[in-house]
A and B are shown apart, each in its own frame.
Chain A
Amino acid sequence: MEKLYESQKLALWYFWTAIVLFGAQLLFGLIAAYQFINPDFLYGTLNFMTNRMLHINAMVVWLLMGFIGGIYWFLPIETDREVVGIKLGKLAYFAFVGAVAIVVLVYLFKQFGSGDFFTLWFITEGREYIEAPRWADIGIVAVALTVAYNVIATTIASKKITGILGVLIVDLAALFGLYIAGMFFTPNISVDQFWWWWVVHLWVEATWEVLVGVLMGWLLMHLLGTPRKIIEAWLYVEVMLVFGTGILGLGHHYYWIGTPEYWLGIGGFFSSLEPLPLVAMVVHAVYDAGVHKLQTVNRPALFWAFAQAFGNLFGAGVWGFMHTLPQINLYSHGTQMAAAHGHLAFFGAYVSANLALFYYILGKTRVKEGYILNGVPWKIAYIGLIVGIFGMTAALTVAGFTQTMIERATLGSTWEAYIQAQMHPWMEEAFKWRLFFGVVFILSYLVLLYDLITAGKRVEQLKEAQLAG
């Protein structure tokens, strides 16, 4: 175990905070899932809308925190020096955590306000995924700026720029710049949703994908010893494919919000190409698995990295493609299909990546040279989480098909059609299965938490033969 940079200690703070918020995400998700079956549960006290907002906001924040942790871990290694503004970085961490705590308390105890700008500034902006009130938006931008400053200043101080750092800097600028596109009020809902998708889509289907590409590239380089040249070539291919398909793939959100008809063709075409970079990542993962015969000093990190490649392809690629063409989306838009896709895509692309990074870091900080991080609990958590998420996704897919067919295609999208579809046994049963697999998921999270806390206690002696090849 080498001595840690201060930046790497900060990375650990970010990861532990992220894992706690992951738990909060699951708790509110569980309550919301149960409210589908028993709507009287906490009705009037903690309504579905509040649980759902906390469920998705906790997710966005913890994933971002994990990414920031990943950046702070690898940045000093890549630049061979301590991060320049590390004190600022630590201050930003406390500001971030403090702001999240206040926002959550307001969400829980105030929940909503009257229809004026005070509510938008101090309670909620009421726009899905970016509900955080405006003051917190400004705080998020300030935190983001310190991260960007630290990456750029440290790169300059080290007097060399690698291809990976170049991609990271451009991507961070785009990622945080985009957030500002979501910070204004307009009465025109078509304009509102147009820019809102710039934030939401261009985050999760473009800039986040590239950021994860950077972090997973570093992970593979340090975990498996993949040569930098190969990592950088792959990263450029991935940037080309992700931005080449994902930027105009944004058009699949512009079919039905009042925007012109040309988006049907542009969005349909480019979004149907969006799985391409994900296929490329799977090819690389399978290749790496073969070369290394699945052996490494950190088995959970390697397995979560594979889960990332496959989960991203299935969740974002396959489930996204299922309803991305306008011909089907006319009927499936705004149904549980999107929830099915969202669950598997976020898990595959981002949750898995974060867990791979966290396990890698724990291996580095807790496992002595010559030992392998392994054991039974991580395997239980790994299998349990994957079974749980696929179970939830399958259930929501059935619900989504039913809603698409009955509410939209057959009964004509009215209020009554909505109720008829929701009360159909195919949907009612699906919500029960979703809850069941949600419970499986939460139990697996508890095993994961136990394994993360005690990681390093279950190690095996490294045999030379295990790393051959």
Chain B
Amino acid sequence: MSVGWLEVVVATLFLSVVVSLVLARGRHWLEPGFWKVAAVITSSVMVITLILLSVDTVRKVSMGSKRVPQPSVINREIGYVYNPDRRAMEPVFGKEVGLFGKVWSEEEAERLIVRGKLVIQSRNCMDCHTLLGNGAYYAPDLTKAWLDPKWERQIMPATGAKSKEEAMKVFLMHPDKYPTWFRRMPNLKLSEEEAEAVIAYLKWMSAIDTNGFPANFPEVKVSQTQ
């Protein structure tokens, strides 16, 4: 039997109430002792449930799982389309296209992703942008930044770069020179290698299945190879 959210909700509430009542029997409900039992039991049930769910969740979001892909996904075409069965948008993967003109081995891709995450933390991206919707709200959400049409429409012509990733690199290394409106990203002194790692990270992050967030994003289709 597969356990869904409703079973979890009903079971935790049922266990909390029944076990509390059994253990507190004989006590008057206006006594602090009655509520002490209820507090201890309810908290314990919730903590145990959270731990069980966390074990399951961490397994389901490990790299290489269905929801969170391997780092080497950066070699492939990544899209984001509406799935009518799920009634939500989800990432899709196409043919191998590489990144920065090369195909990265699993180990190389992993090193790049680790480096990208370190750069993102060291430059405090989260205190202006949001990543997976979390952070500050002073700059755009980066969850699907790799798929954003603005790179091709505006940043590629502005930088004169030949590809999307090259345009992103120029932009990230000198964001102060390419304002898109009156708030400009400050120059955070990214080296070329750091900028490439961040771009790989953004591409990898766009491949995470986020249950349809952000909704209503312009669809990006990929060539059929699967």
Interface residues of A (CB under 8 A from B): 32, 35-36, 39, 43-44, 47-50, 52-53, 111-117, 119-120, 123-128, 131, 163, 185-194, 229, 232-233, 236-237, 239-240, 243-244, 247-248, 250, 253-266, 269-270, 330-331, 333-336, 338-339, 403, 408-409, 412-416, 418-419, 422-423
- Please measure, in the bound complex, the distance between the C-alpha atom of A384 and the C-alpha atom of B43, giving whole angstroms: 38
- A422 to B216, alpha carbons, bound, how many Å? 18
Query: Cα distance A303–B64 when bound, in Å?
Result: 55
Closest to A338 in B: B137
Q: Which residues of B contact A191 (CB under 8 A)?
A: 58, 61-62
Partner of B38, one of A187, A240, A331: A240
* Residue contact B5 to A125, C-beta cutoff 8 Å: no
Chain B hits for A257, CB < 8 A: 132-134, 210
Q: Can you list 17 A-B contacts with CB-CB less than 8 angstroms, sorted by A residue number?
A: A43-B184, A44-B186, A44-B187, A112-B122, A126-B127, A128-B136, A163-B32, A187-B71, A187-B117, A188-B68, A193-B134, A236-B35, A247-B49, A257-B133, A412-B216, A412-B217, A419-B181
- In the complex, the answer to whether A418 meets B141 with C-beta atoms within 8 Å is yes
> How long is the Cα–Cα vector from A193 to B3 in the complex, in angstroms?
24
Q: A52-B127, A229-B32, A416-B149 are in contact. Are A261 and B61 (CB under 8 A)?
A: no
Given contacts A127-B126, A237-B35, A237-B38, 11 further A-B contacts (CB under 8 A): A50-B124, A114-B191, A115-B122, A115-B197, A131-B124, A187-B110, A189-B117, A233-B31, A253-B134, A258-B208, A260-B56
B118-A116 in contact (CB<8A):
yes
A408 & B214 in contact (Cβ 8 Å cutoff) = yes
| Cα distance A189–B68 in the bound complex, in angstroms | 9
Given contacts A115-B197, A257-B134, A269-B5, contact A247 B217 (CB under 8 A): no
Q: Is the CB of B183 within 8 A of A408?
A: no
CA distance A127 to B135 in the complex (A): 8
Known: A126-B120, A257-B132, A258-B132. A248 touches B12 (CB 8 A): yes
Q: Which of A47, A126, A335, A336 has the most CB atoms of chain B within a 10 A radius of its CB?
A: A126
Contact of B181 (CB < 8 Å), options: A247, A264, A413, A423 = A423
Cβ-defined partner of B5 (8 Å) among A194, A232, A264, A423: A264
Chain B residues with CB under 8 A of A131: 124, 127
How far, in angstroms, from A428 to B131 measured CA to CA in the complex?
A: 23
Partner of A334, one of B47, B120, B133: B133
B125 close to A (CB within 8 Å) = yes
B112, chain A: closest CB distance, angstroms: 10
State the majority secondary structure of interface residues on A. helix
In angstroms, Cα B135 to Cα A338, docked, is: 10
Q: Are B43 and A243 in contact (CB under 8 A)?
A: yes
A333 → chain B, closest Cβ, in Å?
A: 4
B53 at the interface (CB under 8 A from A): yes
Q: Looking at the assembled complex, report how far the CB atom of A240 sits from the nearest CB atom of chain B, in whole angstroms.
A: 4
Hey, what's the 0/1 contact readout for B185-198 against A, CB within 8 Å counting as 1?
Answer: 01110010010010
Q: Which A residues are in CB contact (< 8 Å) with B158?
A: none
Q: Which chain A residue has the least Cβ–Cβ distance from B127?
A: A49
Cα A338 to Cα B148 in complex, Å, equals 24
In the assembled complex, the Cα of A413 lies from the Cα of B217 at a distance in Å of: 6
Our pick among A49, A116, A331 for the contact of B136 (Cβ within 8 Å) is A49
**Which residues on B sit within 8 Å (CB–CB) of A409?**
215-216
Task: Let me know if A414 and B127 touch, CB within 8 A.
Answer: no
**What is the chain A residue whose CB lies nearest that of B128?**
A49
One of B133, B186, B216 near A43 (C-beta < 8 A): B186
Question: With A and B bound together, what is the CA distance between A253 and B135 in angstroms?
Answer: 12
In the complex, the answer to whether A243 meets B134 with C-beta atoms within 8 Å is no
Which chain B residues numbered 28 to 73 have a C-beta less than 8 Å away from chain A?
Answer: 30-32, 35-36, 38-39, 42-43, 46-47, 49-50, 53-54, 56-58, 60-63, 67-68, 71
Which of B54, B60, B139, B211 contacts A256 (CB under 8 A)? B211
CA separation between A334 and B184, bound complex, in Å?
20
Least CB separation from A188: chain B residue: B63
Q: Give the distance in Å from the alpha carbon of A190 to the alpha carbon of B113 in the complex.
A: 13
> Cβ of B159 < 8 Å from any Cβ of A?
no
Binary A-proximity of B208-226 (CB < 8 A = 1, otherwise 0):
1111111111100000000
Query: Hey, which chain B residues are within 8 Å of A53, CB to CB?
Result: 124, 127
For residue A113, give the distance in angstroms from its CB to the closest CB of chain B: 5
Given contacts A190-B208, A262-B8, A264-B5, contact A163 B36 (CB under 8 A): yes
- Which residue of A has the minimal Cβ distance to B134? A193
Tell me, in angstroms, the Cα distance from A258 to B181 when the chains sit together.
31
Nearest CB on B from A70, distance (A) = 21
- Contact between B5 and A262, CB atoms less than 8 A apart: yes
Q: In the complex, how many angstroms separate the beta carbon of B125 from the nearest chain A beta carbon? A: 7
Q: Contacting A119 at CB < 8 Å: which of B46, B122, B132, B149?
A: B122
Give the most central of B43, B50, B130, B217: most A CB within 10 Å.
B43
Given the complex, which residues of B lie within 8 Å of A192, measured CB to CB?
117
Given the complex, which residues of B lie within 8 Å of A185, measured CB to CB? 117-118, 121
A192 and B113 alpha carbons, distance in the complex (Å) = 13
Asked whether A415 lies within 8 Å of B122 as measured between CB atoms, the reply is no
Q: How far is the CA of A185 from the CA of B145 in the complex (A)?
A: 23
A418 CB contacts on chain B under 8 angstroms: 139-141
